[in-house]
Amino acid sequence: NAGVMQNPRHLVRRRGQEARLRCSPMKGHSHVYWYRQLPEEGLKFMVYLQKENIIDESGMPKERFSAEFPKEGPSILRIQQVVRGDSAAYFCASSPRAGGRSEQYFGPGTRLTVT
Amino acid sequence: AQTVTQSQPEMSVQEAETVTLSCTYDTSESDYYLFWYKQPPSRQMILVIRQEAYKQQNATENRFSVNFQKAAKSFSLKISDSQLGDAAMYFCAYRRSQGGSEKLVFGKGTKLTVNP
């Protein structure tokens, strides 16, 4: 069973461009979580999605950031008009169900650099 | 809101020795989960150990064990017989048990160096 896949692993964007980060959860997992890790910091929760639904977006910046998890295909984290402060590692995690002992399995992350 | 604090930005240990990493947290919930994750230079997040708050027994996984003090809201990680491959960032994390957000709340991490 393949793990959580993220692509690209590295992404360079100029200020003002759009960044699209993709996450394919583990097979059988319908819950996806996005986290951001700034340099020298721990991971910060951004958004929690189930298929076609956003469940908790309390950690998402109000502007320029959006996320989706369509019925078919990967989850997408989209950052419009990127700024230097968006440079970070973005991690996706997935789980088979919510709550209880369900573990979140992490992908390798996408390192976004804004120049 | 829940918070997780790791007061040791860096720690070092000699190979084969034992080291303890500290973590405290703040919550008003009575039922929750606590985790230790390892992040090696590859940046992959690896689950090391998990503790359920309703269990009094401390969790163990081979050379890794925790000291869970619920009343003190303390959750330290002990690594025995340290190996060079244990060198990494270690993050303590909290998650509610049921209902509401499924998010993990992380501390800022402790960088562990293992000296040969």
Residue B112 predicted with pLDDT over 90:
yes
Which amino acid, B106? F
**What does the pLDDT average to over B68-90?**
97
Percent of chain A clearing pLDDT 90 (strictly above):
81
A40, A45, A99 member nearest B97 (Cβ): A99
Residue A1 predicted with pLDDT over 60:
no
Where residue B100 falls among pLDDT bands split at 50, 70, 90? low
Where residue B12 falls among pLDDT bands split at 50, 70, 90? very high
Residue A43 predicted with pLDDT over 80:
yes
Structure token digits, residue B112: 């562990």
**What does the pLDDT average to over A45-72?**
93
Phi-psi region of B2 (alpha: psi -120 to 50; beta: other; left: phi over 0): beta
Q: How many whole angstroms separate alpha carbon B2 and alpha carbon A46?
A: 15
- pLDDT value at residue B101: 67
Residues of chain A with C-beta less than 8 angstroms from the C-beta of B47: 103
Q: How many whole angstroms separate alpha carbon A56 and alpha carbon A33?
A: 9
A56, A108, A111 member nearest B103 (Cβ): A56
The residue among A86, A77, A73, A75 whose CA lies nearest residue A112 is A86
- pLDDT value at residue B73: 96
The average confidence (pLDDT) of chain B is: 93
B33, B46, B107 member nearest A42 (Cβ): B107
Q: How many of the other CB atoms lie within 10 Å of CB of B18?
A: 12
Residues of chain B with C-beta less than 8 angstroms from the C-beta of A93: 45, 104
Residues of chain B with C-beta less than 8 angstroms from the C-beta of A42: 4, 91, 106-109
Residues of chain A with C-beta less than 8 angstroms from the C-beta of B4: 42
**In chain B, how many H helices and how many E strands?**
0, 12
- If you write DSSP's letter for every residue of A67-91 in order, what string do you get? EE--SSS-EEEEE-S--GGG-EEEE
Q: Across the interface, do A42 and B91 touch by the CB < 8 Å criterion?
A: yes
Lowest mean pLDDT among A71-75, A78-82, B13-17: A71-75
